[in-house]
Amino acid sequence: MPPDISPPTELRRAALHWLHECDAVQKAAGARRLAQDRAAGALELDAAAALSATLPIPGHPARPELVSPLTVKRRAMNTLEGRAAMIHALVHIEFNAINLALDALWRFPNMPCEYYADWLQVADEEALHFTLLSEHLQAQGYVYGDFPAHNGLWDMAVRTQQDVLARMAVLPRTMEARGLDVTPGTRAKLVQAGDTTVAPILDIILRDEIGHVAIGNRWFNYLCAQRGLEPVATYADLLTEYYASPLRGPFNLEARRAAGFSEQELARLESGS
């Protein structure tokens, strides 16, 4: 994005501005600046504005090469390259998470002010996660873009772009919630392989992601109540419509409870129903 174009002074338009940004480091810095500027009173909010993207979204760098998820190779943890590839995959997830939060901010009008405050917080924290992991990757002698990656998270954002209820159901409550399940195992594998420096970073990410999934739960339940829908059945219907892969355990039930999933939902999850 040309450096002489200043970000807008309205929050949702500014979020779209940074979603267009192709430089990953600049995007992360921009997302963090959004939160700072909003806290300082430098950004107003126009929740009713009907916005449209004028450039392709999301903006992304020329590298990493985006490939099919089926062609992304798994690498052994007993090599530096293998561990770097794992960290790179996490960096890419956080890059996508910044885009998802920015998209949730600008795309859906006429939500309560608290909705936009929540997703601004998510964008800020995902940008922090990206920065921490990116710097850790550089300490291993690699940079973001050195390994291929896939775009599955954003593909689901495109599929749910017409309905904020579907977005809340499929992204934070399903795909991001999977991060609650797998992060402890990823942390253990990397530490066992000798990468102890990454452990506190993943601890921060797991803590914050519980809050992000909780935000998805909050707005999913709000929208269900607004539309007169029963949440558990509605979620099951949306999962069938949008999310082709069945959810398989093991599940991090403690983290999911902390993120606001009900015991009824957790029981259904474990039973596979």
Residue pLDDT, tens place only, 74-106:
778 889 999 999 999 999 999 999 999 999 999
Residue pLDDT, tens place only, 149-162:
988 889 999 999 99
* High-pLDDT (> 70) share of the chain, %: 97
What are the b/e assignments for 39-78, b being 16+ CB within 10 Å?
eeeebeeeeeeeeeeeeebbbbeeebeeeeeeebeebebe
pLDDT beyond 50 at 3: no
Band (133; pLDDT cuts 50, 70, 90)? very high
Burial class (CB in 10 A: 0-12, 13-18, 19+), 8: middle
**pTM for the whole thing?**
0.95
Q: 123 and 34 in contact (C-beta within 8 Å)?
A: yes
In a 13 Å sphere around the CA of 231, the CA atoms on its Cβ side amount to 21
CA–CA separation, 44 and 15 (whole Å): 12
**Nearest-CA neighbor of 106 among 26, 176, 17?**
17
- For the chain, list the domains and their CATH numbers: 11-52+66-271 (1.20.1260)
Residue 109 phi/psi, 5-degree rounding, is -85, 170
Q: Which residue shows structure tokens 């430098």?
A: 42
Residue pLDDT, tens place only, 218-262:
999 999 999 999 999 999 999 999 986 778 889 999 999 999 999
pLDDT in the model for residue 151:
86
pLDDT beyond 60 at 1: no
Q: What is the mean pLDDT of residues 31-54?
A: 95
Average pLDDT over the chain, rounded to whole?
93
Beta-carbon count within 10 A of 250 CB: 10
